[in-house]
Amino acid sequence: MLRKKFLGEFIGTATLVATVVGSGIMATNLSADLGIDLLINTVATVFVLYILITLLAPISGAHFNPLVSAIAYLRKELTAAHTIYFFIAQILGGSLGAMIANLMFEHPAIDPSQNVRDGANLLLGEVVASAGLIFIIFIAIKQGIDKKIPRLVAAWIGAAYFFTSSTSFANPAVTIARSLTDSFSGIKFSSVPAFIAAQIVGAALGYAGFKTLTSKSKSGK
């Protein structure tokens, strides 16, 4: 069972990153307009997220994101060992996905990004994107509408691509993987640690918001 979950997270994260990176490269090949490039990147990501979460949720839970797995561990839904396995699967899968996308477009398999993404405004964007993602997932679970999570997550990420300054990475494994491509969707490795720190802060805030809204008051209301 663990092997299937590991494989589900590996394949899911690999496919997600291959889509993000591949559609980013294709977009820049097709258009010099950054707005159109972002739209192409967004549409491809939204569609693949819906597909992957729908199909792989029954197998692995379809986390594809260390933030989600870490909170699942805190909620005692995963053991420490399973959480580490998930982290490994997500990071390795994401890295492979980036390399596959690079190779599909005749780039070097590992093509370190030179796209510096620095600044407090971008980090705030990551806090917002990550907080919203975590809040949506766990409040949907709490409300018993798990089957709507594929649509809800895809919709949030699609919207956050456009309304956050960082274009919504919201995922440490994907952030690491995107440092391997010097393309539209890339991020220079030196920018990765700050992005991941912002994502962790956002996840903590999102989960705190979820707990606050769903906890019962002393009066039971």
Residue 195 falls inside a structural domain: yes
Residue 216 falls inside a structural domain: no
Alpha carbons 38 and 184: distance in angstroms, whole number = 9
Residue 164 falls inside a structural domain: yes
Structure-token pair, residue 56: 């792989």
Residue 199 falls inside a structural domain: yes
pLDDT at 45: 98
Domain range spanning residue 53?
A: 2-211
Structure-token pair, residue 19: 């889509």
Supply the mean pLDDT for the chain: 96
Give 1's pLDDT tier (boundaries 50, 70, 90): confident
Residue 110's CATH number: 1.20.1080.10
Q: For residues 195-218, give the mean pLDDT.
A: 93
**Selection from 149, 121, 117, 115 nearest residue 135 by Cα:** 149
Q: For residues 126-149, give the mean pLDDT.
A: 97
pLDDT at 218: 58
Is the confidence at residue 51, as pLDDT, over 80?
A: yes
Q: For the purposes of burial, counting CB atoms within 10 Å of the CB of 59, is it exposed (0-12), middle (13-18) or buried (19 or more)?
A: middle
Is the confidence at residue 191, as pLDDT, over 70?
A: yes
Residue 218 falls inside a structural domain: no
Q: For residues 90-102, give the mean pLDDT.
A: 98
Give 2's pLDDT tier (boundaries 50, 70, 90): confident
How many domains does the chain contain in total? 1
For residue 187, what are the contacts with CB-CB under 8 A and spacing of at least 6? Answer: 113, 115, 117, 169, 175, 178, 179, 195
Residue 132 falls inside a structural domain: yes
